[in-house]
Amino acid sequence: MFAKKNVGVIMKKFITKNTEQTIELGKKIGSKLLAGDVILLVGDLSAGKTTITKGIGQALGVTKVINSPTFTIVKVYKGQIPLYHLDLYRLDGVNEDFDLEEYFEGDGVAVVEWPTQASELLPKEYIKIELLRLDENEREISLTTVGKKYEGRFDDIC
């Protein structure tokens, strides 16, 4: 793990060797989250976006099985803090009928897979998690925070 700081931006990198370690990293991240936080997940298919979301959900107290919302766009999970799991992969442009803002400004944590599909609607402050598949099990995971509300929050994650 290493960290790099710029004004308002903090980046940390991790290597996970298997699914369990990716879920554990998700739990560590999830334990630092507050209502209204937004996480953008970036990575190719099978990079581990839903896997890390499982750990985040566990930290938030979600007891249901978390799986990809690819065909429904959003799944809402109840926990101590609600988890809004959005998958924008199939979204073909944004129109006024799709109110993403309600998930970004709500009482839960929004985890967004494929966020570039609606980049114009994303908040100015967010956590970006990039997942790179190194091999069948191993992942390189970068956590970048953008905005003052996240400064210092993830400093002790290693």
pLDDT at 1 over 90: no
Judged by DSSP in three states, 84 sits in strand
What CATH number should be reported for the domain holding residue 57? 3.40.50.300
Any domain includes 157: no
Task: State pTM to two decimals.
Answer: 0.88
Average pLDDT, the chain: 88
Any domain includes 77: yes
Any domain includes 155: no
Q: State the total domains in the chain.
A: 1
Any domain includes 97: yes
Put the strands of the sheet holding 126-133 in their side by side order: 2-6, 9-16, 139-146, 126-133, 38-42, 109-113, 83-87, 74-77
* CA 95/CA 108 separation, integer angstroms: 23
124-133 residue pLDDT tens: 999 999 999 9
79-120 residue pLDDT tens: 999 999 998 877 665 554 567 777 887 899 999 999 988 788
Domain holding 9, by residue range, is: 2-150
Report pLDDT for 72: 80
Report pLDDT for 117: 81
